[in-house]
Amino acid sequence: MKKFLKVIKYTFISLLSMVFAFFLYFFISNRLFLESEKEDNIAYLKNNNARIDETLDESFFNADFYQSKVFLLGEVHGFADNQKLDKELLFFLNRKLGVKYYIAEMDSGTAKKLNEFLNSSQKEKAKLKEVVLAIGNRIPQQSSQELFDKWNDIYDYNKTLNDSLKITVIGLDKNFDDESSLPRDSAMFINFEQIVKQKKLENEKFYGLFGYFHTLQTKIENGKETFASNLKKAGIKTSSLVSYTLDSDMYLPKNPQFPTPEDEKVDWYNADGPLQVVKGINDLKALSKPNTLTLFKLNSPNSPYYKSQNLIQVKSRVFGENMVPVNGTNTCDYFQYVFLLRNSKALTKLK
C-alpha cells in the first residue's frame, strides 16, 4: 500500500511539474515575442499619437490619408469601444470629406433592411433588432446591444443631414445561399467593384468596419489575398486603421465549439496576451494610459515602421492564425494607423 501511495505521490508531482513548466514556457515565450520598449519607436511615437476623447482632430491625419478612396477600420470582434470608434470615424469622414457610403461585412439583404431602417420616417426599432440578430448569423461576437445602439445613433445623425450627405450602407459579403468556391475576401472585392460600376459611384469615397484580417493591405505569409490587398492591387487608394486592445474584455457568446464563461466575456485576448501577442505593442502601451483610446500614426516621414514588421507580427496561441508578414515587407505595407483601446468593456447581448 505504501509503495502504491508513493507512486501516486510522485506521479502527481511529475504532472504538477509538467503543468508548471508549460505555463512558465508560455509566459517566457510571450515576453520574448512581445519585446521590450524600443527607444527609436518611442521617440517617433511621442510625436505621432493623439488621445481620442470625443472627436478626432482632423489635423492629425496627413494629406495622403484624405486622398484615399477607401477607409477601413479593422477590429478583433467583441470589444465595445470599437463600436464607438466606428461611429465616430464615420461621422468624422462624413463631415470632413462627405463620405456617405458605409461598406459593410454583411450580405446585401441585411444591408437593404438596414437602409430601410435608416430611411424610415419613424424609428422602427423592431427592424433594427432584426438586422442586429441577422448579423449574428455571420459574426456572433458583433451582434450586440452596442451594435444596436450605434445604428440607433447613426439614424439620429442621418436625420440632421441634407439628402446629398445621408449615409447609405452597402453590403459586400457573400449571401448565405452563395455556393461558389470563391474566397470570401475575393467575393467582397468583386461585389464592391460591381456595385461601384452599377450605381456609378466612381467619384465617391467609402468607409467601413471589418474584421482585422480583411483590412490588411498585403497578404501574410501562406495567406490568401484580403479585401484590402485586392483594393490595393487594383490601384484603389486605401487607408487602413487597425484596433488593438489592452486590459479589455471581449464578448464571447455561448457556442458549441468551446466553453464560454457564464457572463460571456473573457479578458485573455488582448494584444499582450496571454492567447494573442502583438510584437511591439509595449511601445504603444508606454505612451498611453488606462481607460483611454489613443491613435498612433505609423507613416510619417522617417517612421521606423517603414523599416520593421512590428505591430503586424501577431502570434495566436489557441484561436485564429499567426500573422506572419511576407519577407521584404514593412508594417506600413499592411496598415498606416493603430488605435489602442485600453480597458474597453465587452459587447453585451441584445436586450
pTM recorded for the entire structure: 0.91
Beta carbons of 151 and 114 less than 8 angstroms apart: yes
Q: Where are the alpha helices (DSSP H) in the chain?
A: 2-34, 39-46, 63-66, 80-97, 108-119, 125-135, 145-158, 184-198, 227-233, 281-286
- Residues 6 or more apart whose CB falls under 8 angstroms from that of 106 comprise 114, 134, 135, 138, 169, 171, 172, 173
pLDDT tens, position by position, 146-190: 999 999 999 999 999 999 999 999 999 999 888 889 999 999 999
Would you say residue 258 has pLDDT above 80? no
Beta carbons of 277 and 299 less than 8 angstroms apart: no
| Distance separating alpha carbons of residues 283 and 296, to the nearest angstrom | 11
Query: Side chain identity at 270, as an amino acid letter?
Result: N
- Segment 38-45 mean pLDDT: 94
| Distance separating alpha carbons of residues 78 and 211, to the nearest angstrom | 10
| Distance separating alpha carbons of residues 300 and 282, to the nearest angstrom | 20
Would you say residue 21 has pLDDT above 50? no
Query: Side chain identity at 230, as an amino acid letter?
Result: N
Beta carbons of 240 and 335 less than 8 angstroms apart: yes
**What pLDDT is recorded for position 274?**
82
**What pLDDT is recorded for position 250?**
95
Beta carbons of 93 and 167 less than 8 angstroms apart: no
Distance of CA 35 to the CA centre of its chain: 23
Q: Which residues pair with 251 in a beta bridge?
A: 265
Share of the chain above pLDDT 90, in %: 76
Share of the chain above pLDDT 70, in %: 88
| Distance separating alpha carbons of residues 330 and 309, to the nearest angstrom | 5
| Distance separating alpha carbons of residues 250 and 186, to the nearest angstrom | 28
Question: Which three-class secondary structure state does DSSP give residue 210?
Answer: strand
| Distance separating alpha carbons of residues 166 and 158, to the nearest angstrom | 6
Q: Which residue has the cell 487607408?
A: 239
Work out the end-to-end distance of the chain between its first and last CA atoms, rounded to an integer number of angstroms: 59
| Distance separating alpha carbons of residues 52 and 342, to the nearest angstrom | 12
- H or E element that contains 75: strand 70-75
pLDDT tens, position by position, 297-333: 999 999 999 999 999 999 875 666 788 999 999 999 9
